[in-house]
Structure 1
């Protein structure tokens, strides 16, 4: 089953005074780009989350946000005075050493000091993160499973669209094949007529050479190979869709090949009807390529 690169999942959790909300979402991308926003005091959590996502997701721009709050608001803004004293002492020593060396440091604001890790108990400085991290790791796997399930659900709908477009391409390729076959007699008659006019109006013409040149023109106008390759590409695309993700890059490459054959068919058509079929092919191929951009 193919998967869409678009997905979303959310969940809530709690432990003691802590409450949190997970939000996991993704959009299409050329590769796998995982961006996590989790509190940095939850030591060991971010690498574990990244590893879990990497196992389940192969492609897409993935963003995870963990919003963590405390139920006791007073504790969430309590100043950690021992940590503050240590920080201020270190700052004083740093400024004194800089002055001794003739260096001027920019003034340090209270906000910068308070932003230091552990300065406020609410940032995790007063909590043992291990129990929280362990519970969050356990909760994350079901969240990822729900996320992947949504991508697969959207992928199933996407597979239906792509299959319908492949049906259109296949039908148009067969239409082009029929039109190319129907024009053979007309082209042969035109070439014979051109050969006769050349021979009638020119002296000393090498008939064999002229016939050879006209045969070469006929070969250049033959679209059999392009139609055969279109059929082969349709079969390959169906196999990839049946195989399932990750196949997005392979499908994208196939779309380039589809477009190349349609362009060549149009350039060799020498027929209004065949050109029209080729242009319709290009339209459907462009539409399918837009859809393929969202396949994992």
Structure 2
């Protein structure tokens, strides 16, 4: 199953033949129907529509089509109708013009100061009454399906790129973990030697008041406590487990954004603990490099469905 991003865009267009306009002397000219759908990341599925009045009756069906295909993302659908008539201007009928004159006379009877209709007002009103028709549901939904298919293809391409990037980052994190693993035994041995040297110096200053065996036992105890304090074996084990799960989810595909987001939080927790237990500069550097990679992964995971 593929990995899908929540970022995508697609558009579709279709030419509509001229149709008779109810109550009009002329038919509605041929028009072009255009539809755009775009989406960005969101925790849930958030739909918004910007439709002309001809499309309003189909909004519920359009919403149902989208929710059947998408699970997450902030999705915006825009639709528009463009006339193929010369100049894109409506041709008002005589009946409509008579009606507008009658309405204007009635209004000015009650409101003498009302401004008379201008040519632009008549064109706008004519476009609203004669230039609109009820678009067939099949036509609108077929166009929507075409746009959804295009956007899903775009989201799939983006998801594939994000999955490849995430796999590359998990591979780098594994290399950093492998670099950190042998540092702890080396640090413990160095600290044990340091304790023994200090106790040897202390014994020389006290002229043998402390028994050599007791000094050695104390040094070993201190070294053991130090080893427990800086041991990061558990953190590295959990980190490897989280990386295995991330790789498994990416290979499986599907809806994995929320699960990956949780795993990224756990990775960040282990990297922080690794840094807090750091006893040498090299371990601190590894922790910082890990957190940089994990933060980059977090930003991209938030775009996955």
* TM class, shorter-length: 0.7 to 0.9
Residue number in structure 1 paired with 2:71: 58
Residue number in structure 2 paired with 1:237: 246
Checking the alignment, whether the CA contact within 8 Å between 1:41 and 1:123 is kept in structure 2 is no
Q: Give distance in 2, aligned partners of 1:91 and 1:250.
A: 63
1:41 deviates by 3.1
Residue number in structure 2 paired with 1:102: none
Residue number in structure 2 paired with 1:183: 187
Q: Give distance in 2, aligned partners of 1:142 and 1:184.
A: 64
Q: TM-score, normalised by structure 2?
A: 0.75
Checking the alignment, whether the CA contact within 8 Å between 1:77 and 1:120 is kept in structure 2 is no
Query: Which of 170-179 and 68-77 deviates more?
Result: 68-77
1:293 deviates by 2.4
Residue number in structure 2 paired with 1:49: 62
Checking the alignment, whether the CA contact within 8 Å between 1:2 and 1:241 is kept in structure 2 is yes
The verdict on how the C-alpha distance between 1:2 and 1:84 changes in structure 2, with shifts beyond 3 A counting, is: farther
The SS at the match of 1:153 is helix
Q: Give distance in 1, aligned partners of 2:178 and 2:89.
A: 73
Residue number in structure 2 paired with 1:34: 47
Q: TM-score, normalised by structure 1?
A: 0.77
The verdict on how the C-alpha distance between 1:278 and 1:127 changes in structure 2, with shifts beyond 3 A counting, is: closer
Instruction: Select the residue among 128, 134, 137 that pairs with 1:129.
Output: 134
Q: Greater CA radius of gyration, 1 or 2?
A: 2
1:54-133 correspondence runs (5 A): 54-72=67-85, 76=90, 78=92, 80=96, 120-123=125-128, 127-131=132-136, 133=137
Residue number in structure 2 paired with 1:11: 12
Matched, 1:167 2:168: no
Matched, 1:277 2:286: yes
The SS at the match of 2:181 is helix
1:192 deviates by 5.2
Checking the alignment, whether the CA contact within 8 Å between 1:195 and 1:211 is kept in structure 2 is no
**1:176-197 Cα shifts (integer Å, max 9, x gaps):** 1122233232233345556777
Q: Give distance in 2, aligned partners of 1:60 and 1:124.
A: 37
Residue number in structure 2 paired with 1:152: 156
Q: Give distance in 2, aligned partners of 1:78 and 1:191.
A: 100
Checking the alignment, whether the CA contact within 8 Å between 2:4 and 2:254 is kept in structure 1 is yes
The verdict on how the C-alpha distance between 1:71 and 1:273 changes in structure 2, with shifts beyond 3 A counting, is: same
Q: Give distance in 2, aligned partners of 1:264 and 1:91.
A: 77
Checking the alignment, whether the CA contact within 8 Å between 1:37 and 1:65 is kept in structure 2 is yes
Residue number in structure 2 paired with 1:224: 233
1:160 deviates by 0.9
Paired residues in the alignment total 281
Checking the alignment, whether the CA contact within 8 Å between 2:54 and 2:135 is kept in structure 1 is no
1:239 deviates by 1.6
Structure 2: runs of 5 or more not aligned: 18-29
**1:180-239 Cα shifts (integer Å, max 9, x gaps):** 2332322333455567778999999x9999987764443221111110111011011112
The SS at the match of 2:15 is strand
Residue number in structure 2 paired with 1:294: 303
Matched, 1:141 2:150: no
The verdict on how the C-alpha distance between 1:279 and 1:188 changes in structure 2, with shifts beyond 3 A counting, is: same
